[in-house]
Amino acid sequence: MIPIDSVTSDEYPESNFNSNNDRPDKPEEACGVFGLYAPGEDVAKLTYFGLYALQHRGQESAGIATFEGTKVHLHKDMGLVSQVFNESILEELPGNLAVGHTRYSTTGSSRKVNAQPAVVETRLGNLALAHNGNLVNTTQLRDELLKSNFNLVTTTDSEMIAFAIAEAVNAGADWLDGAIQAFHRCQGAFSLVIGTPVGVMGTRDPNGIRPLVIGTVGTNPVRYVLSSETCGLDIIGAEYLRDVEPGELVWITEEGLASYHWSQQPQRKLCIFEMIYFARPDSVMHNETLYSYRMRLGRQLAAESNVEADIVFGVPDSGIPAAIGFSQASGVSYGEGLIKNRYVGRTFIQPTQTMRESGIRMKLNPLKDVLAGKRVVIVDDSIVRGTTSRKLVKALRDAGAAEVHMRISSPPVTHPCFYGIDTDSQDQLIAATKSVEEIAQQLEVESLAYLSWEGMLKATGEDTNSFCSACFTGDYPVAIPEQVKRSKLILEKVVV
């Protein structure tokens, strides 16, 4: 048995959050990872707050592993970060370094046994791994590990990466070489934070599809922090240093931070949806907050598809920056037309059919006196299945809106993601089977317009070839094995 303290048991059945009837009409989040090496600091509490800032990236489970010499202390459970941890639990997680994770399931169902970090034993001691992303060669890697007689206890690709490192270490490699050997066996998207008895590793796949940043804690000597986004640094007072580069491994120990470029052909392909929707608007990418980028999307959207209207507003919260930008560029007055109940989280209690039919509004409620008799422009970041958008339009109509014009600050989502975003199969994506005009008819809006693919990339101000936009084009930067592709991709490639 692995000598781990405070491991929780698998008491809960699979969640029903992902049933087609109850799924939100959005791409589901990636995961959040956090880690630091900070002897003398309360590493568990710092990691808790880091995960708290990354909560938007996953709300199904959370976990923290700390290393006290060779001893690992681990606590993970289903639920939000604030539900999984309290002061007494954090006090039982001593150590000099920590790895944390907040999860939305992609590979592996929503069960406690699949919560991370994944901890495995090696000849050099235990390692704890937290993963953001999704491998596309999971089946092949799993078969290889089973042939090597590894006892896989979860259904996650994350555990398989951990065991691949263990296999190399057990064969004689040190931590660095073992990790690099394992990374070369992985295909797809992976941003990893890995704890060992002597230090913390951080790495990104050769395309850097999912983000990972490095921060510094102002102690003497300087200590380093890894986080999926800069908002995880801000909350603990750490300073952003730089991004972990695609195909880079950073190794944080008592000696400081060392860098190793393990991929010979890195080619940056950051997921564009991180910038449009997933990452927090106060997180920094390309030397600016994403709030600024999302405002530019709105200005570009207005330039491409302005309309005569009385008021423009965004779907809270993700549509608001683009709506402000749209207002600035179009001259249409910005206001609030929808109020969000910000205390609503995931719930196991499902509304009754009567409540569904009466239009239960758990999250958003329209302002009738603002909307009555008005021609409104409502801005959202994306439409996936269209179910929520249609209900939202009906609510605006019921509130008295005279005209409803919908504007989307990204192109039509026509292809599923295989790199860590939970999207439906292609036939469930409304834009894969219907034209913009047909979608407008289904949503019952006066007009509907999406941002162009070119406009979305132009607004980044970066090399347009350095982003993954496969969900809009079907051009996947990492080849998808046929058996994986068949599970979601059933229609022809769409040209944008």
Q: How many CA atoms lie within 13 A of 271 on its CB side?
A: 31
Phi, psi of 200, rounded to the nearest 5 degrees: -120, 135
177 is in an annotated binding site: no
- Whether a cis peptide bond, with omega within 30° of 0, leads into 3 is no
SS3 374: coil
The pLDDT confidence band at residue 13, using thresholds 50, 70 and 90, is very low
Please give the pLDDT value at position 197: 98
What is the distance between the alpha carbons of residues 329 and 304, in angstroms, rounded to a whole number?
Answer: 10
| 77 in the same domain as 156 | yes
Work out the percent of the chain whose per-residue pLDDT is above 70. Answer: 87
| 333 in the same domain as 251 | no
Amino acid present at 117 = P
Q: Give 441's contacts (C-beta < 8 A, 6+ positions apart).
A: none
Q: Give the CATH number for residue 363.
A: 3.40.50.2020
Please give the pLDDT value at position 111: 61
Tell me the average pLDDT across 179-190. Answer: 97
| 297 in the same domain as 256 | no
| 299 in the same domain as 359 | yes
Amino acid present at 177 = D
186 is in an annotated binding site: no
Q: How many structural domains is the chain composed of?
A: 2
| 224 in the same domain as 320 | no
Q: Give the CATH number for residue 77.
A: 3.60.20.10
The torsion angle over the Cα atoms of residues 345, 53, 337 and 296, rounded to 10 degrees, is -140
What residues make up the domain containing 241?
32-269
In a domain, 484, yes or no: no
Strand partners, 403: 375
CB atoms within 10 A of CB 6: 15
Choosing from 27, 29, 31, 314, which is the catalytic residue?
31
Q: Dump pLDDT digits (tens) for 116-174.
A: 999 999 999 999 999 999 999 998 999 999 998 888 877 788 999 999 999 999 999 99
In a domain, 45, yes or no: yes
Please give the pLDDT value at position 3: 40
Please give the pLDDT value at position 121: 96
Please give the pLDDT value at position 351: 67
Rg of the chain over CA atoms, in angstroms?
A: 23
380 is in an annotated binding site: yes
CB atoms within 10 A of CB 99: 34
31 in catalytic set = yes
Place of tokens 């289903």: 78
Q: Dump pLDDT digits (tens) for 438-477.
A: 999 999 999 999 999 999 999 999 999 999 999 999 999 9
| 133 in the same domain as 208 | yes
| 213 in the same domain as 70 | yes
What is the distance between the alpha carbons of residues 31 and 15, in angstroms, rounded to a whole number?
Answer: 17
User: Looking at residue 276, what DSSP letter applies?
Assistant: I
| 213 in the same domain as 180 | yes
SS3 292: helix
In a domain, 8, yes or no: no
381 is in an annotated binding site: yes
Amino acid present at 392 = L
Above 70 in pLDDT, residue 275?
yes
What is the distance between the alpha carbons of residues 372 and 401, in angstroms, rounded to a whole number?
Answer: 5
Residues 459-478: b if buried by 16+ CB within 10 A, e if exposed? bbebeeebbbbbbbbbebbb
Q: Dump pLDDT digits (tens) for 278-293.
A: 999 999 999 999 999 9
| 298 in the same domain as 239 | no
Which tokens sit at 90? Answer: 């954090």
What is the distance between the alpha carbons of residues 130 and 34, in angstroms, rounded to a whole number?
Answer: 8
SS3 34: strand
The pLDDT confidence band at residue 25, using thresholds 50, 70 and 90, is low
| 172 in the same domain as 57 | yes
Q: Dump pLDDT digits (tens) for 337-376.
A: 999 887 755 555 666 766 665 555 678 899 999 999 999 9
| 319 in the same domain as 263 | no
Q: Is 274 exposed, middle or buried (0-12, 13-18, 19+ CB in 10 A)?
A: buried
In a domain, 1, yes or no: no
Which tokens sit at 409? Answer: 């600050």
